[in-house]
Amino acid sequence: MSDTGLLTMTSRTPQELILHLDEADNRFLGAIAENYVAQHFAAREKSLLCWRSDSKSGGQAEIDFVLQEGMDVIPVEVKAGARAASRSLSVFVNEI
């Protein structure tokens, strides 16, 4: 959605749940964070590309946004909570 505020209002999700910072209980917070970043990239006319790969171990890796600036490829992982580690980012760097 092009407006994060409208996303939260149209979702009919209680405000208390949106503001609750416990990652285990609030998966919607990640969607809000990704929508916020997508909204800003789109406003700056950046292409909204993502990357996914099925790893050999059976898991799936994904990068939320992949930007290209000239010859540089920039992976962008969006995290809403305190856990900032990204296994997908390591897979992306190793495969690309």
What is the residue extent of each domain of the chain?
4-95
Per-residue pLDDT at 23 exceeds 60: no
Per DSSP, the three-state class of 39 is helix
> What pLDDT shows up at residue 65?
94
> What pLDDT shows up at residue 6?
79
Share of the chain residues as helix, strand and coil, in percent rounded to the nearest 5: 40, 20, 45
Looking only at the bridges linking them, the beta strands covering 51-54 and 60-63 are antiparallel
**What's this model's pTM, rounded to 2 decimal places?**
0.74
Q: Report the distance separating Cα 25 and Cα 82, nearest Å.
A: 13
Closest CA to 32 of 9, 62, 60: 9
Q: Which residue has the higher pLDDT, 27 or 87?
A: 87
Range of weakest confidence among 15-29, 42-56, 62-76, 80-94: 15-29
Instruction: For residues 40-66, give the mean pLDDT.
Output: 84
Instruction: For residues 6-11, give the mean pLDDT.
Output: 79
Q: Which residue has the higher pLDDT, 44 or 13?
A: 44
Q: Report the distance separating Cα 60 and Cα 22, nearest Å.
A: 24
Torsion angle of alpha carbons 1, 5, 8, 17, nearest 10°?
A: 140
